[in-house]
Amino acid sequence: MTFRDAQEYLNSFVNYERTGYNSYRVPFKLGRIKSFLEILSNPQEVTRFLHVVGTKGKGSTCAFLAYILSQAGFKTGLYTSPHLDSFRERIRILKKDSRGDFPGMISPEDIAKYVARLKPAVERFKRISSYGDLTFFEVCTALAFLYFREKKVDFAVLETGLGGRLDATNVVNPLVVGITPVSYEHTQLLGKTLGKIAAEKCAVIKNKGEILVCAPQSREAKKVIEARSKKFRARLFSVGKEIFFKLTETTPTLQTFGVESLFREYPGLKSRLVGRHQMINAATAIGMVEALRFHNIYIPARAIENGIASARWPGRFEIVNKNPFVILDGAQNVASCRALKATLREVFGKRKVILVLGISQDKDLKGICRELGPVAKAIILTQSSNPRAAKVETLKNFFAKKKEVSLTKNLKQAINLAFRKAKKKDLILVTGSLFVVGEARRLCLD
């Protein structure tokens, strides 16, 4: 099997990242992934995991965790989704000397090798299973578990795909669970209230005595998470209660801040991921690695400092050009857009913004447009090549008629138009979807 053959095989499975979800309980069945993993001799039972759930900040928190652990000298697996450019971004192994935007990506040869090994197991599963066909995400998750086991990683950091309770990653028994801020997302699947969404997320707490580190939450979500923790007698540590952070300085490319965590203080942390939300993500990650002490695993302070400093997570307030500044940010719900606006104000003040916006059709189109519209002097609507992309004609209806709104057919046209409109002191902001950001990133960096 070649790498191209492997990609085609993976793409033959139903991929809800591209088609959208009609239901939560139909495509999401833990029994199906558990049954498949049994055929593979349960590779997930060998690896030590740190599991991150939530709505916003999951990927960044996972990145901070993986970089910290690798700086401590551990061979660290990292499983995230979706990808910006290459499928290989989803499955990585970081080491202390890792460099680049996506260090440690699984090689094309290994993808071909492990998919070839999975294929017979998939065929056997089809013959004996009563759970229905596997999904793209389930096969990818199994691939990651198999890869991490055979590469003998010391730890693996897992980002949930969607929800938590029925997500394929919820088959693991992690050393530590992290919950990033919970906000409204996939309400048609997870529930119409923050309480219901939080219940789906924190259902990854499923074993007595689990260790949980939680980012700041709304009152409604916090109540649900605390109740779940109490039910399972989990040790719950919260940012804002046991863990604190304080900003020192922010520039467009560097943020200096301090964190007071469970066991010690880190007064001079530096991170290239900027914004208050990234300090929350970093504090959550630090709390999680410090919580490993309850398993007699001690992470040196120097590794934590170096991990925060070296962490990369492209597509999140990422500056890819100057004069004018071009910022790529995968904000795709109302809460993320608010965090993005706050970071823009803090870093760039009242600089004029040319907004390039494309959103997936199953998102809160009206809410996202309402949040981002006021910051833009000009709005350029576009859509990614993903089938879930909302039509630009639909998005236009959510902006005031007095706004300068342009419609484009694709990202290339939108980016070119933005550069024609922008002056040197203006700022071009590309956001609304990780699919949009991924395509824009290729255009801007090629």
Q: Are residues 65 and 171 in the same domain?
A: yes
Whole-number Å distance between alpha carbons of 251 and 287: 25
Cα-based torsion angle of the residue sequence 416, 421, 424, 428 in order, rounded to the nearest 10 degrees: -60
Instruction: Give me the tens of pLDDT residue by residue for the chain, a chain 446 residues long.
Output: 999 999 999 999 988 887 766 555 555 578 999 999 999 999 999 999 999 999 999 999 999 999 999 999 999 999 999 999 999 999 999 999 878 899 999 999 999 999 999 999 999 999 998 888 899 999 999 999 999 999 999 999 999 998 889 899 999 999 999 999 999 888 777 889 999 999 999 999 999 999 999 999 999 999 999 999 999 999 999 999 999 999 999 999 999 999 999 999 999 999 999 999 999 999 999 999 999 999 999 999 999 999 999 999 999 999 999 989 999 999 999 999 999 999 999 999 989 999 999 999 989 999 999 999 999 999 999 999 999 999 999 999 999 888 899 999 999 999 999 999 999 899 999 999 999 999 999 999 88
| 275, 310, 345 - which closes a domain | 310
Whole-number Å distance between alpha carbons of 309 and 124: 46
Half-sphere exposure of 326 (CA within 13 A, CB side): 20
Q: What's the pLDDT at 299?
A: 98
Q: What's the pLDDT at 22?
A: 55
| 310, 334, 360 - which closes a domain | 310
Q: Please, which contacts does 117-121 make with residues 24 or more away whose CB atoms are closer than 8 Å?
A: 117/146, 118/40, 118/142, 118/143, 118/146, 119/1, 119/9, 121/36, 121/39, 121/40
Residue 68 burial by Cβ neighbours in a 10 Å radius (0-12, 13-18, 19+) = buried
Contact status, residue 417 vs residue 395, Cβ threshold 8 Å: no
Count the Cβ atoms, other than its own, within 10 Å of residue 12: 11
Whole-number Å distance between alpha carbons of 36 and 21: 22
Query: CATH no. for residue 339?
Result: 3.90.190.20
Whole-number Å distance between alpha carbons of 75 and 69: 8
Q: Are residues 332 and 275 in the same domain?
A: no
Residue 30 in tokens: 């833990």
| 310, 342, 358 - which closes a domain | 310
Q: What's the pLDDT at 437?
A: 96
Whole-number Å distance between alpha carbons of 254 and 275: 10
Q: Are residues 249 and 322 in the same domain?
A: no
Residue 184 in tokens: 């409204």
**Three-state SS sequence of the chain:** CCHHHHHHHHCCCECHHHHCCCCCCCCCCHHHHHHHHHHCCCHHHCCCEEEEECCCCHHHHHHHHHHHHHHCCCCEEEECCCCCCCHHHHEEEECCCCCCCCCCECCHHHHHHHHHHHHHHHHHHHHHCCCCCCEHHHHHHHHHHHHHHHCCCCEEEEECCCCCCCCHHHHCCCCEEEECCCCCCCHHHHCCCHHHHHHHHHCCCCCCCCEEEECCCCHHHHHHHHHHHHHCCCEEEEECCCEEEEEEEECCCCEEEEEECCCCEEEEEEECCCCHHHHHHHHHHHHHHHHHHHHCCCCCHHHHHHHHHHCCCCCCCEEEECCCEEEEECCCCHHHHHHHHHHHHHHHCCCCEEEEECCECCCCHHHHHHHHHHHEEEEEECCCCCCCECCHHHHHCCCCCCCCEEECCCHHHHHHHHHHHCCCCCEEEEECCHHHHHHHHHHHHC
Q: What's the pLDDT at 402?
A: 86
Q: What's the pLDDT at 185?
A: 83
User: Total structural domains in the chain?
Assistant: 2
Q: What's the pLDDT at 99?
A: 84
Q: What's the pLDDT at 28?
A: 58
Whole-number Å distance between alpha carbons of 122 and 118: 6
Q: Are residues 284 and 163 in the same domain?
A: yes
Give CA 171 to chain center in angstroms.
Answer: 19
Q: Are residues 210 and 353 in the same domain?
A: no
Q: Are residues 305 and 187 in the same domain?
A: yes
Residue 206 in tokens: 């499923």
Q: Are residues 168 and 121 in the same domain?
A: yes
Q: Are residues 127 and 257 in the same domain?
A: yes
Q: Are residues 76 and 168 in the same domain?
A: yes
Distances (CA, A) of 282 to 247, 261, 286, 359: 12, 11, 6, 27
Distances (CA, A) of 350 to 89, 209, 279, 375, 405: 35, 48, 23, 9, 20
Cis peptide before 82 (omega within 30 of 0): yes
Cis peptide before 103 (omega within 30 of 0): no
Q: Are residues 201 and 256 in the same domain?
A: yes
Q: Are residues 30 and 169 in the same domain?
A: yes
Contact status, residue 137 vs residue 145, Cβ threshold 8 Å: no
Q: Are residues 302 and 331 in the same domain?
A: no
Domain with 380, as residue range(s), is 318-445
Q: What's the pLDDT at 163?
A: 87
Query: CATH no. for residue 200?
Result: 3.40.1190.10
